[in-house]
Chain A
Amino acid sequence: MNKQEKQKRKKLAITLTIIFLLALFLGPGPGLYLINPNPADPNARFTFLGMPIIYAWALLWLLVESVVVVIAYLKLWDSHKKGRINPN
């Protein structure tokens, strides 16, 4: 792998890591304060597209995490190609 490809890989790895960590911060973390309805507020919105808004939020960030994993699987997780210690 030449230097340019290594740099590209490193950039992709860093980008995916940041997105994944952001998904964890926003999804089950403090990002919830952006959408969490106030139970005491009679005008609060508890649903989104018919689903509980918290459930929809979980689905959104699960999708983000899954996409990150799939991209990592396709583009980064390739030790099996370069690994030389392999009984097969």
Chain B
Amino acid sequence: MLPILAKTDGSNMGNLPIIMMGVYLLMLAGVGVYGYIKSKSTEEDYYLAGRKQGFLITSLTIIAAFFSSAALLGNPGAVYKDGVAFMLFALNLPVGGATVYIFGNRIWLAGHAKGYVTPGDMISEYYDNSVMVRILVAVLGFLYVLPYVVIQIRAGGHLAQQIFSSTPYFTILGLKFEIFDVGATVLSIIMMIYIIVGGMRSVALADVFQGIILLAGMLIAGVVAIIAFGGVTKYFNAISTLPPEALSLPGASGRYTPWLLMTLCIFGSLASIIQPAQWMRFYAAKSLQTLRRSALTFSLILPPCFLFGVMLVTLGARVLYPPTTTVDPVTHTITVIAHPVVGSHDQALIALLKNQGVAVMGTLGPFIVMLIMLAVVAASMSTADANLHALSAVLTRDLYDRFIHPKAGEKERTWIGRGIIVLGTLLSLWLVYVGQRNKDFAPLKMIVEMQFVAMAFSCQVLPAAVDVLFVHRGTRAGAVCGMVSGLLVVMMFTPMSKVLLGQGLGISVANTSLYLKQLLDIGFCGLVANVPVFVAVSLFTKKPDQKKVAELKRIMTGEND
């Protein structure tokens, strides 16, 4: 029998988890219905909500799509592991915020004038409707989006395990289902349904609620941590007792050098803003004023969520549950092992809240802890839904519409898009299931390792995007060669290097990329190849139609009547 009415875990939260999770899931179902009622059966409405999203929706959907489970688990986990060094990563957020306006402003103007829906629409049209450019932009978008969807669904499953930790499995009709599988499946199916029925309207509205939950959760978590230590002064007094390597660079594991942090802050942020889901949010904004305000909101609200919120929690967790550091005597590799109470680094936030939060917050404790856990679910789902929806647009508009059935009408394309959402969700779920049962399952192992690599793929669109938006000196051949070069370099940071180059050369390249990864952001490494190739090839190849270029320039500077 489903233990719905039983106490759910040892932190005395009673039935609160199931009630709050139930309300959250009902809310998501509600936005699906709302989106369906409000939607029109046009492609522009399905993918861009009719290009009429106001400030509240635009700003929160941009934020929610940007902040994934990494914002509440991975990044704070890195602070737990390495100490204050990783807190500097918060300085990437104003970069992202400024980019929302500086890039978004021109993308919006072009999108409204020309009816663009995907990044490929704009970039390929600029380069004389180049098929190769469109394919490459779509492929790089796909290589960003799919791993991110998988990672978020996986995080959702892990959260379900944490939230219902005393319920390892459900029994339904005599069949046993592990809570991880149930959690991942339920969240994915509900998300899939509201994206299918309501398109961008449902996704964005869900992101409004999820954005509010995740921002509130991040800040409240910081407050809880401070209270758990007895106030700000006592908190920082406790932090000052951390070992020296946790209070300095390069951090306890030796990873975070200034050059790596700086390149991560710049190129990681840029990559996360120019990815397909965000690009479409720029197109979908109601006005330039909407994007302007969203950019400011992003820049000013997000950094405190890190520096006064979740990062303080896990720095405090390091004091209460110190990890163990070992150094390999032969290779001198430093390994930081999480405290048994924490389990793994990215669970540090949950560990502190579950063990300390409930006790210090009195009767509100269980509610607040559960709210913060829901914030993690919200962060995961909001990124997953945005990316799945964008994947649908990219594969439909950039591949199906161009190469498989160019004469397809809007209705057909919209239904193909829905089909892609179903397939994308099922593929992601399958990868998560298999990976959960086989830790060495290569594609998922690769995908988990590829989270930063996913950002690096997205980053390879940056030179072409900068050229289309600002520079206007590149050529189609330059853009193609640049993106291919960048893509190949980024591939060298994945296990694909051994597949592509064979064991001998592949191992050498893998060792080199391992070394480079410690020094610089992977996306930056790709750009080191991409940009010079783009520039060099552009010098000797045919320029795009200059009348079109001039027209686009006039549109983007707002001088077109």
Contacts and interface: CB of A to CB of B under 8 A. Distances in A.
Interface of A: 20, 23-25, 27-33, 36-40, 44, 46-47, 50-55, 57-59, 61-62, 65-66, 68-70, 72-73, 77, 79-80, 82-88
B535 interface: no
Contacts of B261: 28-29, 32
A70 B559 CA distance: 25
B262 to A, nearest CB: 3
A86 B287 contact: yes
Given A37-B247, A85-B560, A30 B84 contact: no
Given A32-B249, A51-B236, A58-B88, A84 B560 contact: yes
B299 interface: yes
A70 B296 contact: yes
A29 B267 CA distance: 13
A55 to B, nearest CB: 5
A36, A52, A57 interface centre (most CB from chain B within 10 Å): A52
B91 interface: yes
Contact of A28 (B242, B262, B289): B262
A54 B85 contact: yes
B109 A85 contact: yes
B405 to A, nearest CB: 30
A33 to B, nearest CB: 7
Contacts of A29: 258-259, 261-262
B240 A58 contact: no
Given A37-B244, A84-B561, A54 B266 contact: no
B206 interface: no
Interface string B271-302: 00000000000000011110010011001100
B113 A85 contact: yes
B84 A55 contact: yes
A3 to B, nearest CB: 16
Nearest to B240: A47
B258 A65 contact: no
A85 to B, nearest CB: 5
Contact of A52 (B90, B239, B264, B265): B239
Given A65-B94, A72-B98, A54 B258 contact: no
A57 to B, nearest CB: 8
B105 interface: yes
Contacts of B237: 50
- Chain B interface category by residue count: 35 or more
A60 to B, nearest CB: 10
Contacts of B292: 73, 77, 79-80
Nearest to A16: B98
A62 B249 contact: no
Nearest to A40: B244
A24 B262 contact: yes
A30 B258 contact: yes
Nearest to A67: B94
Contacts, number: 153
Chain A interface mostly: helix
A88 B91 CA distance: 35
A50 B558 contact: no
Interface string B71-88: 000000000000011011
A39, A53, A59, A84 interface centre (most CB from chain B within 10 Å): A39
B296 to A, nearest CB: 5
B248 A38 contact: yes
A20 B97 CA distance: 12
A37 B98 CA distance: 31
Contact of A79 (B243, B244, B288, B307): B288
A50 B233 contact: yes
Given A85-B109, A87-B112, A28 B91 contact: yes
B51 interface: yes
B288 A46 contact: no
Contact of B91 (A24, A37, A38, A70): A24
B245 interface: yes
B98 A69 contact: yes
B259, B288, B303 interface centre (most CB from chain A within 10 Å): B288
B145 interface: no
Given A66-B303, A80-B288, A50 B262 contact: no
A43 to B, nearest CB: 11
A82 B555 CA distance: 12
Contacts of B244: 37, 39-40, 44, 46
B286 A79 contact: no
Contact of A61 (B91, B236, B240, B243): B91
10 contacts: A24-B95, A24-B265, A27-B91, A50-B240, A54-B87, A73-B295, A79-B288, A80-B292, A85-B109, A87-B286
Given A54-B248, A66-B94, 20 more contacts: A20-B98, A24-B95, A32-B261, A33-B258, A52-B84, A54-B87, A54-B247, A55-B307, A58-B87, A58-B90, A62-B307, A65-B91, A65-B95, A69-B97, A69-B98, A73-B292, A83-B288, A85-B112, A87-B51, A87-B286
Contacts of A73: 101, 292, 295-296
A57 B247 CA distance: 12
A46 B296 contact: no
Interface string B549-561: 0000001001111
Contacts of B249: 32, 36, 54
Nearest to B52: A87
Given A24-B91, A29-B259, A54-B247, A80 B287 contact: yes
Given A36-B248, A54-B247, A85-B558, A62 B303 contact: yes
Contacts of A31: 258
B558 A58 contact: no
B89 interface: yes
